[in-house]
Structure 1
């Protein structure tokens, strides 16, 4: 990283806290197999997933985001933030955004708050946005949350997708600092290709096609993904974006200590790692017990890896994601020294606000 003209280190956004939250209800493969005419072996072979968590009927995306955000702020030793950015595909409502409600429930009324929609790449986009708010001087501390309740948009009778997706939220806190510090975020690579926007979609519910049952089919009102095509694009885009970030940083794959990709499914994770030439034991995974949690998957994997001490201070961490849009993105950071945290699935006696 370069120095400023005044000789001071370059300003950067620094990760200083992490937290995750999974709903209490845990659903194993056998529960879904009975309904979907499949079995545990088929699900594990295709996805590597053993279980996932589902939000209760009264829980919304904001509820999960608040819990993850509270944990991240506590881990950072922070009581305030100047901005809250929530990456989600499943906002509480079409209007307004979910982030202002999350901010208010966390006692951050008055902070800038808005949502980012980039599907499963959403957290990387939100992280870049939070970093930009800090480096531009707009904010000194930003809470970045990825939260999704896919159980609301996935058809429970869809054998291909119902076994893959789960609900959850993960969060990080960024503060202003310098590029030479552990926890400094960047560089980034972000991209999109809207020519393939129908590859991952919920067709109804927007301004183009309102979710009127009289005018739309069941499939149009639920999440649809063309799996084989998505697999090819995901592998190519995640690996390509990861290489771009490493090139920008002047680093090679051998310099990566921990690889944290979007937790799409275990097959994609293994293929991307192989394509990059990374040993799979450097890959942080959370998909086995949480499923694909969309924008929450990377921050949940970070929180889980920190809680289990898989991530160690000084580790050079590579993040990469791919999602609907199509969108993709990657970034680098060096893991800082953070206080211990509970695992995202550990609920303890913490009350809901």
Structure 2
């Protein structure tokens, strides 16, 4: 390990991957009592991508997004020191980061999963930032990837309309403190509200013979939409303001809001509370739905490809979700 010294960090490149299969609101309305108008009015979602095929997993999406990020800067995978995979839907309960490490050829990298649901990418960026600041590592690959379609009850219209599958990646590199791109961050958790969004573990009714052990399995996604909405609209603006105030920045200085793509009404309400123009909201929710840990890097990568974000722009990245967890990062692009 390198000698410890305080440094900065910058985002070198991004990449993303989506499944080829698109699934519209009209298709969902064929097997649950809903409609395109009902879904769009309440969520802003028109369609979502679903990872189909028994041989496909989160690893396929994570690997593709990672390779795209590497290719953009012609970086050899052997230069990556650390891989953090933000996911709540690993292909292996012990973790999937090591498989991503192997498949992209990053054989010099340490790799681990980080589970924080829809806030996972934000927490992973902050974690990567810590390793880079201390000088422990020089190049970190952060991947947000989820395939929540595998954990959705497709007969529950309150949740099945929301989620899609995707992956997004970002490569961070250490730099001088003067060139530091990550200006500040702010993270929170309130476990008292964890029941409002979860994939709970369910015990079998009868114990294993002779051992008195109750084994079981995980349920489907369960969500109290009203409570999650109230939490996000109240807490996320406070987090953003606190983060801005700590570096003496004003809301007027913000060029872009890249929020977790959960619900269009949430995104609009957060912007209104901050008195930020809706034109500054980066959103692709309409095309992909809620892709959990992938939503922020996917939206960020698309915005970069479309040349929306320019050099020196102030970008607010904010995630929120199960835990309940939420957090903000201020980035000077």
Q: What is the TM-score with the length of structure 1 in the denominator?
A: 0.87
TM alignment of 1:124-203, pairs within 5 A: 124-181=122-179, 184-203=181-200
Per the alignment, residue 64 of structure 1 pairs with: 61
TM alignment of 1:230-269, pairs within 5 A: 230-269=228-267
Return the alpha-carbon distance in structure 2 between the equivalents of residues 31 and 231 of structure 1: 26
Return the alpha-carbon distance in structure 1 between the equivalents of residues 74 and 172 of structure 2: 12
Return the alpha-carbon distance in structure 2 between the equivalents of residues 306 and 56 of structure 1: 28
Per the alignment, residue 93 of structure 1 pairs with: 92
Per the alignment, residue 272 of structure 1 pairs with: 270
**Which blocks of at least 5 consecutive residues in structure 2 are unaligned?**
209-213
Which of 40, 45, 56 matches 1:44?
Answer: 40
Shift of 1:217: 10
Q: How many residues align?
A: 320
Shift of 1:76: 2.8
Shift of 1:193: 0.7
Which of 28, 34, 44 matches 1:32?
Answer: 28
Q: Secondary structure at 1:160's aligned position in 2?
A: helix
Q: Secondary structure at 1:165's aligned position in 2?
A: coil
Asked if the contact 2:204/2:216 (under 8 Å) is kept, the reply is no
Asked if the contact 2:183/2:332 (under 8 Å) is kept, the reply is no
Q: Secondary structure at 2:49's aligned position in 1?
A: strand
Mean Cα deviation higher: 13-22 or 54-63: 54-63
Q: Secondary structure at 1:155's aligned position in 2?
A: coil
Cα deviation per residue 1:75-95 (whole Å; 9 max; x = unaligned)?
Answer: 232113000000001011112
Which of 50, 56, 67 matches 1:54?
Answer: 50
Q: Secondary structure at 2:125's aligned position in 1?
A: helix
- Asked if 1:14 corresponds to 2:13, the answer is no
Return the alpha-carbon distance in structure 1 between the equivalents of residues 205 and 176 of structure 2: 47
**Which blocks of at least 5 consecutive residues in structure 1 are unaligned?**
1-7, 336-353
Which of 266, 280, 288 matches 1:290?
Answer: 288
Return the alpha-carbon distance in structure 2 between the equivalents of residues 145 and 211 of structure 1: 38
Return the alpha-carbon distance in structure 2 between the equivalents of residues 211 and 252 of structure 1: 55
Shift of 1:41: 0.4
> Which of the pair is proportionally richer in helix?
2
Q: What is the TM-score with the length of structure 2 in the denominator?
A: 0.92
C-alpha RMSD of the superposition: 2.1
